[in-house]
Amino acid sequence: MSNANPHAKSHTVVDGFKQVGHRVFGGYAELLRMPHTARFSIGSVIACMPFPMVGMTITISVQHYYGNYTLAGILTAIQAIALAVASPLLGKLTDKFGQRQVSIPTIIVWIVAAIALVTCITNRAPEWVLYCLTPLLAAIPPWGAMSRARWTTLLKGDRERTDRALSLSGVFDECMWIIGNPLASTLAVISGLLAFSFTGVCVVVGALMFLTELTTEPKSQTQLAREAGLTRREYREREAAKAQRLMERDAADRARRAAEAAGASAADVQAAVDKAVADARAGKKESIWGPGMLAVCVTWFSLGAFQSASNISIIAFATETGMKQYTGFVFACFSFSSLCGAIVYGAKNWTIPLWKRFYVCLAVVNLGVGTFMFARHLWVIMIIYLLIGVCQAPTWINGNQLMLHLVPPTRFTEGVSWMGAMNSIGASAGSAIAGVFIDHMGSHGGFLMATVLAVGSLVIALVGFRQIKGSTEQPTLTEVTV
């Protein structure tokens, strides 16, 4: 009896892998083959290196030179609070005046502040000096939000490719964390100056790649208003009215379909339509702060709180067990797992409602972090991170997609910046609280606090269930033609 041709089998296996690879990566490759998109996407990731590196560098350096986790937690909290205040402001200014006009002076402030802070830490300057300098490290342009704004502008009206582009941004973000976390822990253990120097180089290189790509830069409100012969206020009012009309039309269509499906009379159908339009008009027309936006931001506050508490607790746990140099690799495992989740998540065209995906991913991350307090070895935490990380990036991708339903296109950068800002505020609270518990109870106290915050975060998200679910039923506001 003859055996099947082994070469034919190998070709079949190779073809199968090619098909899977094309199905997973083909959509991303199509986006990056668009003119100029690869340059600004990669540039934004390189310029974002302060996000994974600064917090960890401050924590490790301050603990090394001052021997105090409380001080490290407070400084990290101060930087996070300052970032939370600065990010929406910078996002709003970017939408108003343009990406280059805001980013260049912001970068200069960050570089000067980083040089001054690392000099003071290595020379054990008085603590009040560190308190004064740390807020200036929040001078980071909203690179991620600006990159997403470019994608949504380029792909306006194409829902499928816009969702995939947001997933691609999440993939690049996770690549940044995979590289940044181990680099921060390794370089900071060697020298805080070395860590900050590397970060500064990344900022300059990434900014040059991003800001010199002019063809994809979305027009600012100032430019659009000038072209329309309007003031910025008049232009914003006009765009808010467009968004309102879109929501009213969508509400009327949904009410009409529901009434007709229920077999209502013509008069009842019209009454249902009128009521739906009146309800749509009852919301705010100019402010982005509707109930859905508030629910998402509060959820992101609690998300930042427990994740930052778990991060500083892991650093303390690794220090207690003599494995501090490996903390960055543990965080990199989380980011690598999250990267894999982002790649697969963005490759699929989901039919499951957005709000269901949002809550499932959030629950996996929250409940998974709650198991850290039972771990007895750093590698156990790493394994848990590998398991739950697949839902981390999808959670953020879902949040970005929610922003498409909640804010008009000319304020998208501001909306995403607010989401990040609330996450930073929560992170500041979580790291400060966990730092105090660690100094009094060791890493176990930090993990206990992280568990409490994680469970509380899930409860807060469930409290906002109606608002978040309702927001996904609104039309995508980026469909408004500018």
Please list the pLDDT of the chain residue by residue as tens digits (482 residues).
Answer: 455 565 555 556 555 555 655 565 667 778 888 888 888 888 888 888 777 677 777 777 787 787 776 787 788 778 877 877 887 788 888 888 888 888 899 999 988 888 888 888 888 888 888 888 888 888 888 887 888 888 888 887 677 777 778 777 777 776 776 676 667 667 766 666 777 778 888 888 888 988 888 888 887 778 778 887 877 777 777 777 777 777 778 778 877 887 887 777 778 778 887 887 777 666 544 456 767 777 778 888 887 887 778 877 888 888 877 776 677 777 777 777 877 887 777 766 777 888 888 888 888 888 888 787 777 877 888 888 888 888 887 887 788 777 777 776 667 767 777 777 787 778 777 877 877 788 788 777 778 888 888 888 788 888 877 777 777 766 554 443 33
Round to whole Å and give the CA distance between 261 and 277. Answer: 19
Output DSSP code: residue 480. Answer: S
Domain co-membership, 396 together with 264: no
**Could you tell me if 136 and 58 lie in one domain?**
yes
Contacts of 44 (CB under 8 A, 6+ apart): 143, 144, 146, 147, 172, 206, 210
Please check whether residue 16 lies inside any domain of the structure.
no
Answer whether residue 2 is part of any domain. no
Helices (H), 370-410: 378-388, 392-406
For residues 147 and 238, membership in a common domain is answered with no
If asked whether residues 240 and 303 sit together in one domain, one would say no
Q: How far apart are CA 479 and CA 460, in angstroms?
A: 30
Closest among 181, 111, 180 to 139, alpha carbons compared:
111
Per the structure, the count of domains in the chain is 2
Of 475, 455, 458, nearest to 358 (Cα)?
A: 458
CATH number at residue 157: 1.20.1250.20
* End residue of a domain, out of 264, 280, 296: 280
Residue 13 located in a structural domain: no
pLDDT value of position 437: 81
- 371 and 475 part of one domain: yes
Task: Please indicate, yes or no, whether residues 246 and 334 belong to a single structural domain of this protein.
Answer: no
CA–CA gap between residue 393 and residue 340 (Å, rounded): 9
Nearest to 112 by CA among 94, 79, 139, 74: 139
Distance of alpha carbon 73 from alpha carbon 428, whole angstroms: 8
Residue with tokens 């609104």: 474
Answer whether residue 21 is part of any domain: no
Is 80 domain-assigned?
yes
- Same domain for 205 and 67? yes
Picking from 307, 479, 318, 316, the residue whose alpha carbon sits closest to that of residue 407 is 479
In angstroms, what CA-CA distances link 458 with 294, 334, 367?
16, 20, 8
Task: Report d(CA 21, CA 18) in Å as an integer.
Answer: 5
| Structure tokens given for 81 | 């609070």
Q: Which domain holds residue 338?
A: 32-218+287-479
Q: Report residue 285 as tokens.
A: 């027309």
pTM over 0.85, yes/no: no
- Same domain, yes or no, for 130 and 146? yes
Q: Report helix, strand or coil for 139.
A: coil
Looking at the structure, tell me whether residues 276 and 294 fall in a common domain. Answer: no
